[in-house]
Chains A and B, each alone.
Chain A
């Protein structure tokens, strides 16, 4: 669909705002609806929209499969690593109370780190699923 001028320009305008909205959903997760999962899906939708307009090979140049496949375990590693940080700082596993000087802040940052991990894994997984299905005929 890359010969269609209206679509191309429209999508070009849309893409940065999609990423911005993903980040908004991610960071606003503490106060409103949202969080890592939803934000990850929106971010992956941006890649998918790009691939729909410019083709999967073009999308793979921007977001290579190697990166996507590494994002999946990396996000879980961020989650598990947050838990290990709790251990290293003298608490139990996944203990956020000890992460910062006062417990309430610790909880906030612990959840934030975990949600960041969820974001990385979910956006990676969604993109990987799309790539796999999109290239099935080849």
Chain B
């Protein structure tokens, strides 16, 4: 009986040990400790090692040699930033009080967008703004809207007003060039105006553990039409450049699947991993891709979405000199072709 009671008394102790047996390592606040903490956060949470064929252990070996406990914060930041560049990921940033590391793919490509040119020579400064959307009528009875950031929440009422005021146009250009992303639900709110039935939008997954290949089952999701709201059923062209990133990349990948929509411009900037944030003992924060989003065909669009067939086009210098936007001009042609085909 006494032995039994002893066993019972040990149960709470065992429970504490069971529940807390997972060791969470602590790193020192020195260059070596901060470097190791950064490497470990990415090692346990980053979601594209295999997709990008990155040997993270080899990366550690290479950059660990550059760590010296006498180095300054700026020197440590440079080494850590260079290590993160190996991931080729626009969602991965190291943030310190004096700098933010970045891999912004659009810096390696033509910008393909000049806001002033659009406002002055296409809209003639005659346009309206509602929440984050600038909109107006262009020549050839074409409507135009520029959504500069999906961080700007657009309301259903805003969209009703915008689409109603543009309803006499024969086609619509949605310009998401230089839209670096934001909130995914804003992108869905916009998509919902161009569909009459639920459409599959893609799949989402997440890491389930620290191993590089520990992922959940992909979860299919769809977008519902905005019932009882103003819809647009006429031809649509979406304009893109390499700065169309993250949530915008997702928006373009969904719009591309719609029958009445064409994508014109450059490949989007990608960024299909939902970013999480961690931090180092010295207080620097690090953002990284943690949860991959796949397109409707189950493909990752981390390196961008291609324009529709025959619609990839860069702005030419000659057009720019002539105050013409090559991508916009191509959009007019595509809209005319779509109208003719209907």
Query: Are the chains A and B members of one assembly?
Result: no
| Residues on B facing A (Cβ under 8 Å) | none
Interface, chain A (partner B; CB < 8 A): none
